[in-house]
Amino acid sequence: MACFATRQGGGLSGEKIMFNLNVYLAALGLSTSQIVGIGPQNAFIIRQGIGRSHILPIVLICIVADVLLISCGVLGMGRIIGAIPGFVQTVAWLGAAFLLWLGFKSFRAALHPGALQLDGSVERDRKKAIRTILLVTLLNPYVWLDTVILIGSVASVYGSHAAPSFILGSITASVCWFVGIGFFAGKLAPLFQQERSWRILDCAIGLIMLFTSSLLVWNYGFTP
């Protein structure tokens, strides 16, 4: 454990801002386990990465969103939101409906002949790509439940003095993951020169959306 800085102030005892390696690694592991699931956000990034389209703004938006949401959760917002009666359950059911809609869109893209071009369903328009990643990030309940409530609740166990280390560990996981899948998914581009590859990808994403929707309701929809 290392000390980053010491702050002294008018007659008050010194307050140390500490870096705790154990907390950092715990946050890194927890956040990685929550991020790596292929949900709507990651699926869109992978698709855009394969198509090598607007990767930088998409990755930056995901990282900034994670920084803000994780910080809110670690600093106490998660406990406040989680205490509102019925809030988590409502978000879970609405989110499940949203994920089902995304799944339907993926199956439609796989089945509709007009969607099976060499670009697959890659979004080439910059504004539309940014709007889409904002929607699948901010309207995806798993993003809120995992970052704000789950990660925030776990972080509270370590105490407020460990919050900077926890936030840093979580952000490290976010940066590594989004940069990795965003910029290295392009390596798969040669494989996706065939229409069949896009059909398989869209079907897989549709199934993942259905599974994620049911998991969301199972884990959060019936919580007392």
The CA distance from 56 to 132, in Å, is 14
Position 146 scores a pLDDT of 73
Average pLDDT rounded to a whole number, residues 64-92: 76
- What is the tens place of the pLDDT at every residue in 103-159? 787 788 777 644 434 445 677 888 988 998 998 888 877 777 777 777 777 777 677
> What pLDDT, on the 0 to 100 scale, is given for residue 61?
93
Task: Give one word for 11, left, alpha or beta, with left for phi > 0 and alpha for psi -120 to 50.
Answer: left
pLDDT category of residue 31 using cuts at 50, 70 and 90: confident
| Predicted pLDDT at 130 | 92
Number of domains comprising the chain: 1
Neighbours of 7 (CB within 10 A): 9
Tokens for 170?
Answer: 């979580």
Alpha helices, H only, 55-162? 55-74, 77-82, 87-111, 126-138, 141-144, 151-157
> pTM to 2 decimals?
0.65
CA distance linking residue 97 with residue 74, whole number of Å: 28
CA–centroid distance for 53 within its chain: 20
Question: Apex CA 183: angle with CA 179 and CA 202, to 5°?
Answer: 105
Predicted pLDDT of residue 1:
46
Domain range for 166? 2-221
Q: How many helices (H) and strands (E) does the chain have?
A: 10, 2
First-to-last alpha carbon distance for the chain, in angstroms, is 39
Answer whether 21's CB lies under 8 Å from 156's CB.
no
pLDDT the model gives residue 56: 92
